[in-house]
Amino acid sequence: MSMIKKDFSAIAKQKLINRGVNLDDIANLVFDLQKPYCPTVQKDACLEAVENVLAKREVAFTILTGIELDMAAEKNHLNEMNQIILDDYSLYGIDEIMALSIVNVHGSIALTNFGYLDKTKPGIVGFLEEEGKKDNICHTFLDDIVCAIASSAASKIAHDYEDNKI
Ligand code: MG
């Protein structure tokens, strides 16, 4: 099937940019997470780690699914669930669970950092949350996806540092 041959990673990257998320913004989160543990880490290594996370097809699928749900909520297409998702209702939680599909393939360092970013909302994560409060802008899935990409890239940096690749 030709569908399988689509470059979903490239599409996911472009959709992130369309939704206001630059890869540099994510790399900045990674840098701030890992700098205390990997003092020699550079921003370009963080950006490369982000690119590596995005290169996985299953990561691209999660990004594309989450963004579609955010956009569907903005268009009021989600029936009974629309208001819950549009308002990022605190007891909803499916946004975090979906993002864990990215975190789960990157180990325990990714998992702990994901919880940290979700709680503290630094940089682009806080920006997305604030923007998402505006009328008809929904970042319910996107903010968790960004946390998941950053925490997964942070895990890659930690492992590369330990292996003396950084
Ligand atoms: Mg969310």
Q: What is the 3-state secondary structure (H, E, C) of the chain?
A: CHHHHCCHHHHHHHHHHHCCCCHHHHHHHHHHHHCCCCCCCCHHHHHHHHHHHHCCHHHHHHHHHHHHHHHHHHCCCCHHHHHHHHCCCCCCCHHHHHHHHHHCCCHHHHHHHHHHHHHHCCHHHHHHHHHHCCCCCCCHHHHHHHHHHHHHHHHHHHHHHHCCCC
Q: Which residue's entry shows tokens 């702990």?
A: 112
Distance 108 CA to ligand 1 centre (A): 21
Distance 142 CA to ligand 1 centre (A): 7
* Confidence band for 5, pLDDT divided at 50, 70 and 90: confident
CA 104/CA 100 separation, integer angstroms: 6
In the predicted structure, residue 141 carries a pLDDT above the cut 70: yes
The answer to whether residues 26 and 149 touch, using CB atoms and an 8 Å cutoff, is yes
Distance 94 CA to ligand 1 centre (A): 8
Reported pTM: 0.96
Distance 2 CA to ligand 1 centre (A): 33
pLDDT in tens, 15-68: 999 999 999 999 999 999 999 999 999 999 999 999 999 999 999 999 999 999
Distance 42 CA to ligand 1 centre (A): 29
Domains of the chain from N-terminus onward: 22-162 (1.10.3760.10)
pLDDT in tens, 67-96: 999 999 999 999 999 999 999 999 999 999
